[in-house]
Structure 1
Amino acid sequence: MATPAYLVYSSRRVAPLLLLGFASGLPLALTGGTLQAWATVELVDLQAIGFLTLVGSAYTLKFLWAPLVDRYAPPWLGRRRGWILATQLGLAAAIAAMGLFPPSSALLALSLLAVLVAFLSATQDIAFDAYRTEVLTPAERGAGAAVSVLGYRIAMLVSGGLALIIADAWIGWQAMYVVMGAAMAALAIATFFAPEPDTPAAAPRNLSEAIRGPMREFFSRKGAYVLLALIVLYKLGDAFAGALSTTFLIRGAGYSATEVGAVNKVMGLAATIVGALVGGSLLARLGLYRSLMVFGLAQAVSNLSYWLIAVTPKNLVLMASAIGFENLCGGMGTAAFVALMMGLCNARFTATQYALLSALSAVGRTYLAGPLAPPLVQAFGWPGFFLVTVVIALPGLWLLYLRREAIRELDRPITS
């Protein structure tokens, strides 16, 4: 009798990723939207609030110091967990310290602490992504990605939504940051109980190898440039469809902001999480290539949900069903896509290669979908635009087919 696919989530390697993913996601809003809300409430100048958005630059630039995480390790808990623990304890102290400096009277000190939090958080992400990649077996990568996404999204709700309620209605902004720092300290306990990889890889021999080695190793592979193009293109159709989804639902389809908030944001988030969990369990059965192809096709087809909303009269049930289906398919695709990036990493350079691949994966969303979606809407109208997004998804699937044999080979432990 076959083992139920969902049992992969009970693995000793997969289950701890829920809390580690939560720890990874907790600091993001505390230096982003939540910090901006605090500054707004304290009547900080609008231009100064605008500069606060630069605090998050560390997340974009983290690949620059990822080689240091590959080369060096603290003398405790192994090569990856040592970095995770060190950054978690640093984050606990820095987040709590932010509560000591109200933005109305100590904006510079608060901003510097926020920069430190973002840097430590980005470094934690580097180490966590590397740890997750190395500790999971090939069959567990999809489930590990899904559990990590679940923990990360819950943490963003806590630090981005619940934190505002706690600060505004209960204990105030300063105390809230202290509480969030204490929560981060408590999450460090999970790092002690997370297992080490069965066969830890050796670190690069020196810093020069840690910097040059990841690129040299990756480009020594046959079809390396095609794989990089696949990373950019695989979720591009999904990115185009989502780039203006809120604007479309309000301005194009005529739904109220309340309806969009309740359905597109809340239900959409829930559907994404369910999709990631379902995708993670199915990946263990289907294998990486078939999962990427099936989920990628589902992602492309699901963009027709927006087309259906655009060509039918306003109907809240239809809108909720369509948004739920699109986000469900997107979550499944995300689980397989993260598993792909894990599989492409060499164990000696996991931190650097994963940081570079994840940065590359954001290129389409940031530099293509955002700027190009508006002129496409103007040229084709909303219904035509969403049909075009289906076409945009096809080149990624074509590249996936071209590299099918190489991707099938990734259903094995990462190389060292």
Structure 2
Amino acid sequence: MAEAVATKKPGWRILLRALRNRKTGFMALFGFASGLPFALFLGTLYAWLTEAEVDLETMGVFSLIGLAYSFQFLWSPLLNRFDIPVMRRLGKRKQWIVLAQVVLGIILVSLSALDPKTSLGWFSLLAGIGAFASATQDIVINAWRIDVADDEATIDILSTVYQMGFRLSSLVGGALGLIVAARIGWPQTYMMMGAILLAIGIVGLFAPDAEAKRALGASAEELAELRQPGQLRPNVRNWGLLAVGLLWAWALGVVIVFMVRSMTAEPDARPDPTVFTATYGPLIVIATIVLPALIAGWLAKLQRDGRHVVTAEEAGSLRSSAMADHLYRALVLPLTEFVGRIGWALVLILALVLTYRITDSIWGTFAYPFYLGELGYTNDEVAVASKFFGIGAMVLGLAFGGWLLTVLGRMATLTLGAALAAATNLLYADLAAGGAVMSTVSNAIGFTWAIENLGGTEKLARLMVTIGAENFSTGIAGAAYIAWLSSIVAKGHSAVQYALLSSLTLLVGTLGRGALGQMIEEQGYYNMFLFVTLIGLVAVVLCVFEWIRERRYGRAAGVVAPDRAIVPAE
């Protein structure tokens, strides 16, 4: 009992100390700025287009701007290595964060001055640029969080606060945006949202940046490191760069061609986004992650074995192209560092990344058809349960997950979150079977009585309890997952490494939705939820394996941040 108390007190002390840190405050602000444009471009915008009587086919083309978020890792190397001439003094990460927020603010204000029905060309162009700027902001904010984390503002707490800000902004940009637009109009609503992002961009000027000095002139020293004894010879590096560069160039070209064809071709000749994702999605991942990882592993092995490396005699005489060295550091070195540090454990890590969030991502597309079609709820009931109550439960789960991280540790919370996220699918299976169990639970805790006294029904209470339990569990899992993902990347290469790993998170869910939809048609929602629960158990098993690996090898396992937050000496 004494041990439990001793563990609990440091957890609260760590949490309170981190919340007083100015980095935590800016992290909440940046999380809000990250989630707001995502909600405005990929959700609320369609309500505006619907009200403006834009046809569904055109709205389908608008949905393609979401590819900017799916393939953001393709330009992450540029953000990791290059500075903005006028703004570089702000710091390595902050210069891009502030620029993206100002651009987003200007775009939202500009959209407010356009009529989407009469100026659809300009409207779609600005929305596309806005999605690109928003995805760029996400890359750099994630890197900033990893770079500035320390023993007080730990990566666990910063990751949790980031997600809380993100979720709150999705409520502001989504449900609240709809309410405000109904009263003052869409142009005024988007102008207000744009002003909020511009204000955040100004406040962001005062945020700390751990890489400020490095952004001002360390590149020459970094390039010189490549020519030191023990580093790979320039010709070997250049062959690796050429191979990885061609693979990434092909992937980027495929995405650009698809976007151009979708925006410019006649309606009958436009490519199908679902077919594109299912066909080219895996190929793009193979070209940008799998094959480059193999190449990086080969380069890391050559250097580790001392083959094709610079000798002490050659160090002063070898010459290489500065441009090639810059590109190598931007594109190949982050992969080489990660694969060289992680080793064969990369297989386990990639498997965990691919499966951890699958339980809530793979069936999310079918949530509204399930609520509205299968269960017969109204739009208002679903909005109350999923948007307001659900987001509140999510934020509460994130807060509880952040506390668990300081008490139980990262891997224990990660495993618990995976188990809870998988188990909550059984609650939806009960709803699909009539909801007898969830009704009993709602009645037993007095929730049904409370909702009925507020004007709701027993049926609504049952849905709210189910969504609340799932979102609370998802919040715990999300807090632990982002903290773990942030902990396994290196600070110097965080933009590229984190963008690559996070892009894989929803890949299996995206590619598997077609098959899941067919399963629902043939077997119904009940069997689908049981199936998704079993899939979630795979992530639980992988969490246990990763937990064992980290405990056995410690820092040699590639964990950059400690599993438990460290209490500074007083």
Give me the TM-score of the superposition, normalised by structure 2: 0.67
Q: Which residue of 2 aligns with 1:185?
A: 198
Deviations 1:334-356 (A, max 9, x none): 11111111012111211111111
Aligned-partner residue type, residue 146 of structure 1: T
**How far apart, in 2, do the equivalents of 1:372 and 1:24 lie?**
31
In 2 relative to 1, CA 295–164 (structure 1 residues): closer, same or farther, beyond 3 Å? closer
Q: Which residue of 2 aligns with 1:34?
A: 44
RMSD: 2.6
1:131: Cα distance to partner? Answer: 0.3
Aligned-partner residue type, residue 298 of structure 1: L
Q: Which residue of 2 aligns with 1:163?
A: 177
The structure 2 residue matched to 1:231, chosen from 350, 353, 359, is: 353
In 2 relative to 1, CA 109–247 (structure 1 residues): closer, same or farther, beyond 3 Å? closer
Superposition pairs for residues 166-245 of structure 1, below 5 Å? 166-170=180-184, 172-197=185-210, 205=223, 206-220=326-340, 221-222=342-343, 223-240=345-362, 242-245=364-367
Q: Which residue of 1 aligns with 2:33?
A: 23
**How far apart, in 2, do the equivalents of 1:42 and 1:379 lie?**
37
The structure 2 residue matched to 1:91, chosen from 104, 108, 112, is: 104
The structure 1 residue matched to 2:167, chosen from 153, 162, 168, is: 153
The structure 2 residue matched to 1:376, chosen from 511, 519, 523, is: 519
Please say if 1:412 is aligned against 2:561: yes
The structure 2 residue matched to 1:307, chosen from 414, 420, 429, is: 429
Please say if 1:285 is aligned against 2:285: no
**How far apart, in 1, do the equivalents of 2:107 and 2:524 lie?**
48
Please say if 1:259 is aligned against 2:259: no
In 2 relative to 1, CA 411–280 (structure 1 residues): closer, same or farther, beyond 3 Å? farther
Percent identical residues: 33
Q: Which residue of 2 aligns with 1:140?
A: 154
Between Structure 1 and Structure 2, whose CA radius of gyration is higher?
2
Aligned-partner residue type, residue 60 of structure 2: G
Superposition pairs for residues 338-377 of structure 1, below 5 Å? 338-368=482-512, 370-377=513-520
**How far apart, in 1, do the equivalents of 2:378 and 2:425 lie?**
21
Name segments (4+ residues, structure 1) moved above 6 Å: 198-204
Q: Which range moves more in the overlay, 3-12 or 99-108?
A: 3-12
Which runs of 5 or more residues in structure 2 are unaligned? Answer: 1-5, 224-325, 440-457, 564-570
The structure 2 residue matched to 1:247, chosen from 345, 366, 369, is: 369
Aligned-partner residue type, residue 275 of structure 1: G
Aligned pairs, number: 412
Aligned-partner residue type, residue 515 of structure 2: L
Q: Which range moves more in the overlay, 173-182 or 308-317?
A: 308-317
Deviations 1:133-170 (A, max 9, x none): 22224773332222212212222222233334434422
Q: Which range moves more in the overlay, 357-366 or 132-141?
A: 132-141
Please say if 1:388 is aligned against 2:537: no
Give me the TM-score of the superposition, normalised by structure 1: 0.90
Q: Which residue of 2 aligns with 1:324?
A: 468
Q: Which residue of 1 aligns with 2:293?
A: none
Aligned-partner residue type, residue 219 of structure 1: V
**How far apart, in 2, do the equivalents of 1:70 and 1:48 lie?**
35
Structure with more relative contact order (C-alpha pairs < 8 Å, separation 6 or more) = 1
In 2 relative to 1, CA 32–398 (structure 1 residues): closer, same or farther, beyond 3 Å? closer
**How far apart, in 1, do the equivalents of 2:403 and 2:348 lie?**
27
Deviations 1:370-396 (A, max 9, x none): 223233334544333322222111222
